[in-house]
Structure 1
Amino acid sequence: MPPYDLDHRLVVGVASSALFDLSTSQRVFDEQGIDAYRAYQDRYRDRMLRPGVAFEFVQRLLSLNDLSPAAGDPLVEVFILSKNDPSTGLRVMSSVAAHGLPISRAIFTQGVAPYAYIPALNISLFLSGDAGDVRTATTLGHPAGQVLGSAAVGQGASSGPTAQRTPHARVAPGDAPVTVEPAVQTVEAAMATGVAVMGDATADISEESTADAEVGELRVAFDFDGVLADDSAERIFQSGGLEQFHQYESARKITEHHAGPILPFLRALSTIQRREEQRVAEDPGYRPRVRVSIVTARSAPSHERAVNTLRSWGVTVNDAFFLGGADKGRVLRVLRPHIFFDDQRGHLDPVAREVASVLVPYGVTNEVAPPAPDAPALVPAG
């Protein structure tokens, strides 16, 4: 039997911190140590984890496998890439099954970031809640993004038992989301009472049914510079201002931009859009579900090079919002993408509780200034 082919599929790698709300687990680990963490996960191995920031995106992406003519030949493959060990990872896989997600492949690398396996598995997008892992993966040239905040899961866009909302969370530098409240019990107290700490454990399930859920649309939004394209134009803007930026882009309006870190994912997504076009040709009643949008601070005349570049890449974009510095949140709250990629936290933080937001820590806007000579060195956690 030949090996399972990954080279002709859209492959996404997702950390458990992106797929599920692990805020309480993370706090147990941080405050009580590895042994308490193991005991906690073992105690609640069969208690389904709440959906995390990327859950609905992954769920809807996997639903596109019904476009494949053969059930055993999916268009989309999702790998769990986790720093848990195989034992503590049992709860993750149990929750995957309990939520009905068709994910069967996982890599558990105890305490070691798994991004080295991204090229080996033909992964076109890696999502994690760990800022350090994502930054390193991006530096190595991998397509990676850090999920932020606690965007409402199932915000009128999901049906069935996974239509839930995650608790509000704050993000500590370098850490996965940490729940603000309620306070964490000790593992011993939780075991004594038999009550799981809110945040990891599921609560009452509410079902929501909307036209959007019935259609199963997947809305994906991207910033352009520093996400799909490299940061060369952004560097001109940062150093020379808006007028020089427009002059630079206008002079190169037919010159294709160099690829940015998340372009591999858009290219893979475009193959599914082409499959949907084939389905429409076969069945005029079929309504395409994948909708791709560009939400960028560019405006005329710099829009022209962006559009020409997208065309030269051969990718399909349904909507483009050239906002010229206007607040992106105004558009995103109407568009309601299931995931939005941007390279600047200033564009993401205001909407991270409403829109599943992903920081791409790439380029000039994410360069970290060296510490002052007398400043103490910072040691990354974990």
Structure 2
Amino acid sequence: MPATLEGKLVVAISSRAVFDFEEENRVFERDDDASYMALQRQRLDLPAPPGVACALVRKLLAFDAPQVPERERLVEVVVVSRNDPVSGLRVFRSARQAGLRLERGVFTRGRNPWPYLAPLKANLFLSANGDDVRAALEAGIPAARVYSESVKASESHPEEIRIAFDGDAVLFSDESERVFQSGGLDAFQRHEDEHAALPLPSGPFKPLLEALHRLQREGGSGGMRIRTALVTARSAPAHERAIRTLMGWGVEVDEAMFLGGLEKGPFLSAFEPDFFFDDQTGHCESAARVAPAGHVVAGIANERR
């Protein structure tokens, strides 16, 4: 039988997210793609340093014990990159040097890689390229632009994958955020109070939360656990609709923080996520000072004007 990714948690990740290729990228931006490729070829035998999402990748791959056959694995990580195929050699060599079981990759030499996410059955796409992220989200695939300058993930919970999500425009649709933007906080609170029993429409990251919830229930063979958190600017009484929505989906989060507009960074510092997803750049910048952060380029806050 041919190999299949059906039923697995599949994370597609760009080379700049898993490895630190920022110096090489500056050459690309300063000169051209030929200079970039020449530098990567020169450095084929030089392992790339870990990138912002490297710790997350390591933990995801550790969800399955090393001896588990491929057909029985629950998690797969695939490199999906604008790199040229020869530069891709350095990615795989760096992965092997770092002890990362990365076996599949798609390298498009400058072309948009998002069309390959569907046949990969990707549950998440992480990339440093905002246009690629936007295209993936428009295609219905959870995606986030990695903040390459983010602080690396904490090493204090080596046997736990910790993922934190914003609510509106991330787990939920931006319906309520639109009310806030047009009518202010009072209008938002009235709207949520009146609709407390009505579940919020799904946001772009609902499928990822559902996939993580399934993994939590199944458990992995590698001893790794998953812990999730909702970190939202909502406060009471608007909290009720968010919780009722998760209940209606049959999905649980381990922690919920209703911050009422407080800065998210200090709370994320306490939670120590391996990754945090938010649709607003201000929250991402606050988060990036304490943990890896990804910008979900979706919803009213990210509409092109």
Query: 2:193 aligned to 239, 250, 259, which one?
Result: 250
Structure 1: runs of 5+ lacking an equivalent: 158-209, 280-285, 370-382
Partner of 1:19: 18
Q: Does 328-337 or 24-33 show the bigger shift?
A: 24-33
Q: Considering only CA atoms, is the larger Rg found in Structure 1 or Structure 2?
A: 1
Contact 1:68–1:74 (CA under 8 A) maintained in structure 2: no
Give the ranges of 4+ consecutive aligned residues of structure 1 lying more than 6 Å apart after TM superposition. none
Aligned equivalents of 2:92 and 2:289: distance in 1? Answer: 26
Q: Does 58-67 or 124-133 show the bigger shift?
A: 58-67
Q: Does 2:243 match 1:300?
A: no
Provide TM-score, normalisation by structure 2. 0.94
Write the mapping of 1:216-227 to structure 2, written as runs, cut at 5 A: 216-227=159-170
Q: In the TM superposition, what is the alpha-carbon distance from 1:141 to its structure 2 partner?
A: 2.6
Partner of 1:46: 45
Q: Does 222-231 or 85-94 show the bigger shift?
A: 85-94
Partner of 1:325: 261
Aligned equivalents of 1:68 and 1:271: distance in 2? Answer: 22
Write the mapping of 1:261-300 to structure 2, written as runs, cut at 5 A: 261-276=204-219, 289-300=225-236
Provide TM-score, normalisation by structure 1. 0.76
Partner of 2:129: 130
Q: In the TM superposition, what is the alpha-carbon distance from 1:57 to its structure 2 partner?
A: 1.1
Q: Does 2:296 match 1:360?
A: yes
Q: In the TM superposition, what is the alpha-carbon distance from 1:327 to its structure 2 partner?
A: 1.2
Q: Does 2:119 match 1:120?
A: yes
Contact 2:153–2:275 (CA under 8 A) maintained in structure 1: no
Aligned equivalents of 1:310 and 1:27: distance in 2? Answer: 42
Contact 2:134–2:297 (CA under 8 A) maintained in structure 1: yes
Aligned equivalents of 1:67 and 1:225: distance in 2? Answer: 38
- The SS at the match of 2:123 is strand
Aligned equivalents of 1:68 and 1:307: distance in 2? Answer: 39
Contact 1:217–1:289 (CA under 8 A) maintained in structure 2: yes
Partner of 1:309: 245
> % of aligned pairs identical?
41
- The SS at the match of 1:101 is coil
Q: CA RMSD in A?
A: 2.0
Q: Does 340-349 or 70-79 show the bigger shift?
A: 70-79
Q: In the TM superposition, what is the alpha-carbon distance from 1:10 to its structure 2 partner?
A: 0.4
Structure 2: runs of 5+ lacking an equivalent: none
Write the mapping of 1:148-187 to structure 2, written as runs, cut at 5 A: 148-153=147-152, 155=154, 157=155
Q: In the TM superposition, what is the alpha-carbon distance from 1:139 to its structure 2 partner?
A: 2.7
Query: 1:334 aligned to 263, 270, 273, which one?
Result: 270
Contact 1:51–1:153 (CA under 8 A) maintained in structure 2: no
| CA deviation map 1:16-60 (0-9, x unaligned) | 111111111111222232332222111110111111111111111
Aligned equivalents of 1:330 and 1:32: distance in 2? Answer: 39
Partner of 1:3: 2
Contact 1:149–1:353 (CA under 8 A) maintained in structure 2: no
